[in-house]
Chain A
């Protein structure tokens, strides 16, 4: 956020103006986010999960592959806290690797989708008229597409889902439209602002205005939408893997673990529950964080609390 007064910038409420001391916008955002208890708890939980998945593999002695020393199909015990598979994987090792792949895919999708979606939406909103109508028609098509079906069809048909970045690219290609719509909506009101007119009068090019003036002032809604896109991407990736069109063995993902374990829910429950709980925990925390961010960054949306 720049120092300019943005219309989306949160207005200080009565409680915040009491005390008199000047506070920066960032301080206000942080304090507003901190008031959202579920979001704060979720943030801590998510940090723990991220540490578990990215630091864990360096500490834990088993990775996600088959080892001859691992006894097959053993319930949780001291050596293997989450048990082992029939083929001889350590489930804890699989869980770390699977979560890592899931998070890598989701973050990549979120970054790619946000960049493409923001630029697309801002361009459409800034130019308006025919350009806007045409560009938003494309967005409409992507918005009503059944996402999982498209990504599964493309990845499966191409036999491309072997690596996490191929999966991420395919998901990103289909999931940027929501961000484009959000950004366009914000830009439509921003472009009428005086500072945009001032920039135009000073001879700034449309590209400069979009990147330097419009997008920074739309940062709040963009950050919220990007956060929620992570949760969408996680569930899409998991669904693809469950249908066996996502990341392929010997690599592992959470959806694949659930798919492998679902015939043995009652006999080997330790294979089935951990990956699902992990997916649920990640998505739940991200959704709560997104809700908290919306309260903090985009107060217009919370006039009526959803």
Chain B
């Protein structure tokens, strides 16, 4: 087990290197950070462009630039992942990519954490209920909801939820749900109760929106795996022993049926990352999603690379953890 873990951890190193190369090449090839400047009318002085090229290291070749981006050796001290610097930004000289990401990380993690926990809880519940009442009305209803949620454009659903929040506020006469912003500014200086109500007001709607897709796919998987376990011999034996249904389901079936979910959740993180960008855009949160959209709009190559690499690392690590966890949870899995 230990050997496997160490080998698996070491195995992610080439994947990480590959991810960094892919990220760098794709972004570097696909856009020109100075396209806006070059297109300006009247054309700017060539010296201005040259100065910017030098600042953004565009005067070097691509392999050189990649080496510089990773190590920072030979740069101006503002580049080099290994030194904790993400590179110069096109947005302004003072726009520090690393500081911006750090500042927005908390905002996004709050949303992602809440949505994933809620999605997981509801998905397990829905999957188990569906499996235990297979082909019943409630099973068909949950299946249809699953199909509906998988087919739903996240951002359109977000708009509907915003509208529903506004309508609800009008009905009640007070502002129960906030439909725009992340509310962190409003929470400053509040006491504990104030913070809780603030979080409820600002987070409820975006969390529901972000949760929807993950809930749909996870609950389907949970249903399948629960059905498989419920039809297995050892569950039949547990029932034959005369154990009460509650014990059979909780102690025997559910525990085993939860194991495949670790992999599914890890793979699903990529989808959550996608959903976060859309959800933040709809509710106008100043999180990593907004950072991403701004970076694309500004042709900010180094900011984009930093963002993509960060999300890549998160996804790769999640899959690594899931793999190792899988071995711990399921003793049938043996690694040579």
CA–CA, A146 and B271, complex, Å: 6
Give the size of the chain B interface in residues (CB under 8 angstroms). Answer: 51
Task: Spot the interface stretch: B48-56, B73-81, B97-105, B154-162.
Answer: B154-162
Comparing A1-9, A48-56, A137-145, the segment that makes contact with chain B is A137-145
Q: How far is the CB of A133 from chain B (nearest CB, A)?
A: 12
B151 touches A231 (CB 8 A): yes
Contact assessment for A239 and B155 in the assembled complex, using a CB-CB cutoff below 8 Å: yes
Residues of the B chain whose Cβ atoms lie less than 8 Å from the Cβ of A149: 273-274, 277, 292, 308, 311
Residue on B nearest A158 in the bound complex, by CB: B30
| CB nearest to B227 among chain A residues | A304
Complex CA gap A186/B15 in Å reads 26
Residues from 149 to 196 in A contacting B, C-beta threshold 8 Å: 149-150, 152-154, 156-160
Distance to closest chain A CB from B228 (angstroms): 6
B34 within 8 Å of A by Cβ? no
Within 8 A of B (CB), among A187-243: 231, 235, 238-239, 242-243
Selected contact of A156 from candidates B148, B156, B297, CB within 8 Å: B297
B316 nearest CB neighbor, chain A only: A144
Contact across chains for B159 and A272 when beta carbons are under 8 A apart: yes
B311 touches A146 (CB 8 A): yes
CB distance A283 to B151 under 8 Å?
Answer: yes
Pairwise interchain contact A239-B278, C-beta atoms closer than 8 A: yes
Q: CB-CB < 8 A to A286: which residues of B?
A: 151
B122 proximal to A (CB < 8 A): no
Interface residues of B in 272-289 (CB under 8 A from A): 273-274, 277-278, 281-282
Which residues on the A side are within 8 Å of B237 (C-beta)? none
A-B contact count (CB 8 A): 129
Residues of chain A lying within 8 A (CB to CB) of residue B155: 238-239, 242, 255, 258-259, 262
- A283 to B153 CA separation, bound complex (whole angstroms): 9
Q: Please give, as numbers and ranges, the residues of chain B lying within 8 Å of A276 by CB-CB distance.
A: 153, 156, 159-160
Q: A146 to chain B: which residues have CB within 8 Å?
A: 270-271, 273-274, 311, 315
A265–B163 contact, CB under 8 A? Answer: yes
Q: How far is the CB of A56 from chain B (nearest CB, A)?
A: 21
B138 contacts the other chain (CB 8 A): no
Minimal Cβ-Cβ distance residue in B for A275? B156
Q: Mark A284-301, 1 if CB is under 8 A from B, else 0.
A: 101110010000000000
- Interface status of B166 (Cβ within 8 A of chain A): yes
Q: How far is the CA of A302 from the CA of B205 in the complex (A)?
A: 36
Chain A residues numbered 83-139 whose CB sits less than 8 Å from any CB in chain B? none
Nearest to A281 among chain B residues (CB) is B151
Give the chain A neighbours of B15 by CB distance below 8 A: 141
Task: Give the complex CA separation of A275 and B160 in angstroms.
Answer: 13
Min Cβ gap A294→B in Å is 13
The interface residues of chain B lying within 8 Å CB-to-CB of A288 are: 147
Q: Which of A160, A280, A284, A287 contacts B156 (CB 8 A)?
A: A280
* CB-CB nearest in chain B for A258: B156
Q: Does B270 contact A287, Cβ atoms closer than 8 Å?
A: no
Interface size bracket, A side: 35 or more
Once the chains are docked, how many angstroms separate the CA of A30 from the CA of B78? 63
Interface residue? A28 (CB, 8 A): no
> Which B residues lie within 8 Å of A158 (CB)?
30-31
Q: How far is the CB of B210 from the nearest CB of chain A, in Å?
A: 13
Residues in B whose Cβ lies below 8 Å from that of A270: none
Nearest neighbor of B266 in chain A, beta-carbon distance: A144
Q: Is A27 an interface residue (CB 8 A)?
A: no
CB-CB under 8 A from B223, the residues of chain A are 306
Name the distance in Å between B239's Cβ and chain A's nearest Cβ.
19
Scoring A residues 244 to 276 as 1 if CB is less than 8 Å from chain B, else 0, what string do you get? Answer: 010000000001001100100110000010011
CB neighbours (8 Å) of B292 from chain A are 149, 152-153
Among B18-26, B60-68, B181-189, the stretch that binds chain A is: B18-26
B residues 238-287 near A (Cβ < 8 Å) are: 267, 270-271, 273-274, 277-278, 281-282
B203 within 8 A of A: no
Indicate the member of B156, B220, B297 with the most A CB atoms within 10 Å. Answer: B156
Give CA–CA (A51, B123) in the complex, Å: 37
Out of A153, A156, A287, name the residue touching B147 (CB < 8 Å). A287
Does any Cβ of B come within 8 Å of A74's Cβ? no
- In the complex, A183 Cα to B150 Cα: how many Å? 23
Cβ contact of A243, chosen from B156, B227, B270, B278, cutoff 8 A: B278
- Chain B residues with CB under 8 Å of A46's CB are none
CA distance A125 to B311 in the complex (A): 30
Quick one: closest A residue to B311, CB to CB?
Answer: A146
Residue A148 interfacial (CB < 8 Å): yes
Compute how far the CA of A288 lies from the CA of B151 in the bound complex, rounded to whole angstroms. Answer: 10
Residue B142, interface by CB 8 Å: no
A156 contacts across to B, CB distance below 8 A: 296-297
Instruction: Say whether B159 contacts A262, CB under 8 Å.
Output: yes
List, in ascending order, chain A residues with CB within 8 A of B312's CB. Answer: 145
Q: Indicate if B214 sits at the interface (CB-CB under 8 A).
A: no
Contact of A157 with B227 at beta-carbon distance under 8 Å, contacts A141-B18, A262-B159 already known: no
In the assembled complex, how far is the CB of residue A257 from the closest CB belonging to chain B, in whole angstroms? 10
Q: Which 6 A-B pairs have the closest CB atoms?
A: A157-B31, A283-B151, A276-B156, A156-B296, A148-B274, A146-B273
By a beta-carbon cutoff of 8 Å, the part of chain A in contact with chain B is 141, 143-150, 152-154, 156-160, 231, 235, 238-239, 242-243, 245, 255, 258-259, 262, 265-266, 272, 275-276, 279-280, 283-284, 286-288, 291, 304, 306
**Chain A to chain B contacts (Cβ below 8 Å), 24 pairs:** A141-B15, A141-B18, A141-B22, A144-B270, A144-B316, A145-B270, A146-B270, A148-B274, A149-B277, A149-B308, A153-B30, A231-B151, A243-B296, A258-B155, A258-B159, A266-B163, A266-B166, A276-B156, A276-B160, A280-B148, A280-B152, A280-B156, A286-B151, A287-B150
